[in-house]
Amino acid sequence: MLLSMTGFGAATHQAGDALFTVEVRTVNNRFLKVISRLPESCVSLDGQVERAVRDRIGRGTVNVFVRIHSRSTGSRSLADEGVIADYAEQFRGMAERLGLSGELTLDSLLSLPGVIRDDNSRTEGGEHLWPGLEVALQEALEELATFRTQEGATIEADLGRQCEVIGTELEAVRLRSPKVAEAYRQKLLERVGTALAGTAAKVSETDVIREVSLFADRCDINEELSRMDAHLVQFRQILDADSSEGRKLDFLAQEMFRETNTIGSKANDVEIAHRVVEIKLAIERIRENLQNVE
């Protein structure tokens, strides 16, 4: 079962006077990166939010947006004068050093992070908000999981189709491969016959056999075909597994591409070269899809 690294989930939960709204958005990344955007009242819960995300997601960039709306009349928003003073001092010093002009207003300072604080959050901290936030977060992650599973099923189906293309082309290459040496022998005899026409010189059958044998040895792709078969079998097994193993699949795709390149360079045959192009196109489609698989 593959999981897409792109997804969206959202949920709301009412706990007492507080309404928690959580949105989770994910995009692809080689590693797991969690970015939380929390209200000032619960910024201390960032670590708990990240742990909850890491329990559910293994790879990708995860953006968590949290909003809390309180209907309590006892809650008041207060401006932190100390933070405002620090901001003003920094801005004035910066303007003086850089020779910048501009008006510093209270409105502009009040819009900066950390200036407005909820008085309840200052006295109680954010821990009392975690139970309600956790419920909304888990529900959003569950919706995200459904989204990623559905998207992953679509990707998995396309990967299966590309594997079928590769398998079909490999079989055609396997059937063509034994005929390459014989085709070379016929062309060799034609070229030698043309070159020696009108002369008394002759080429022995032993010389022809030796040359054809050397050519056949250079063009032998049986080992590469066997490895491609093994890679394809393993790729399909991972697709059918219960876990999402995007990195393993990507590694196998790289190995298949390398073997395909070798087949193309050794085969020395136009028909096989055409088959190799189709295999490479299918592998490229696979690798593009795997960029978005966990």
pLDDT of residue 42: 85
Convert the pLDDT of each residue in 110-134 to its tens digit. 767 666 665 544 445 578 899 999 9
Whether residue 170 contacts residue 229, with contact meaning beta carbons closer than 8 Å, is answered with: yes
The mean-pLDDT minimum among 38-52, 101-115, 145-159 falls in 101-115
Whether residue 42 contacts residue 18, with contact meaning beta carbons closer than 8 Å, is answered with: no
Alpha carbon distance 258, 219 (integer Å):
16
Question: What separation in angstroms does the CA of 78 have from each of 45, 120, 267?
Answer: 21, 10, 77
Alpha carbon distance 258, 278 (integer Å):
14
Is residue 155 predicted with pLDDT exceeding 80?
Answer: yes
Is residue 188 predicted with pLDDT exceeding 90?
Answer: no
Convert the pLDDT of each residue in 189-209 to its tens digit. 556 556 556 675 666 566 556
Residue ranges covered by each domain of the chain? 7-77+115-149, 81-110, 150-290
Please provide the DSSP assignment of 46-90 as one string. Answer: HHHHHHHHHTT--SEEEEEEEEEEE--TT--EEE-HHHHHHHHHH
Percent of the chain predicted with pLDDT > 90: 53
1/147: higher pLDDT: 147
Number of neighbours of residue 248 by Cβ within 10 angstroms: 15
Whether residue 66 contacts residue 140, with contact meaning beta carbons closer than 8 Å, is answered with: no
Query: Residue 15, SS3?
Result: strand
Q: Which of 138, 179, 174 is nearest to 52 (CA)?
A: 138
Backbone dihedral angles phi then psi of residue 13, each to the nearest 5 degrees: -150, 130
Alpha carbon distance 283, 44 (integer Å):
46
Q: Which of 159, 157, 177 is nearest to 252 (CA)?
A: 159
Backbone dihedral angles phi then psi of residue 205, each to the nearest 5 degrees: -65, -30
Alpha carbon distance 213, 205 (integer Å):
12
Please provide the DSSP assignment of 217-240 as one string. Answer: HHT--HHHHHHHHHHHHHHHHHHH
Q: pTM here?
A: 0.71
pLDDT of residue 121: 47
**How much is the average pLDDT of 68-80?**
63
**Bridge partner residues of 18 (DSSP):** 15, 70
Assign a CATH topology to domain 7-77+115-149: Ribosomal Protein S5; domain 2 (3.30.230)
Question: What separation in angstroms does the CA of 249 have from each of 29, 113, 246, 290?
Answer: 15, 43, 5, 7
Convert the pLDDT of each residue in 93-113 to its tens digit. 888 888 777 777 877 777 676
Percent of the chain predicted with pLDDT > 70: 80
Q: Which two tokens stand for residue 264?
A: 């193309």
40 DSSP 8-state letter? G
115 DSSP 8-state letter? S
Q: Which two tokens stand for residue 54?
A: 């890491």
Q: Compute the mean pLDDT over every residue in the chain, rounded to the nearest whole number.
A: 84
Alpha carbon distance 212, 163 (integer Å):
34
Whether residue 156 contacts residue 283, with contact meaning beta carbons closer than 8 Å, is answered with: no
Convert the pLDDT of each residue in 16-32 to its tens digit. 888 999 999 999 998 99
pLDDT of residue 219: 73
Q: Which of 33-42, 55-64, 90-99, 265-274 has the highest mean pLDDT?
A: 55-64
pLDDT of residue 83: 79
Q: How confident is the model at residue 289 (pLDDT cuts 50, 70, 90)?
A: very high
pLDDT of residue 73: 45
pLDDT of residue 255: 96
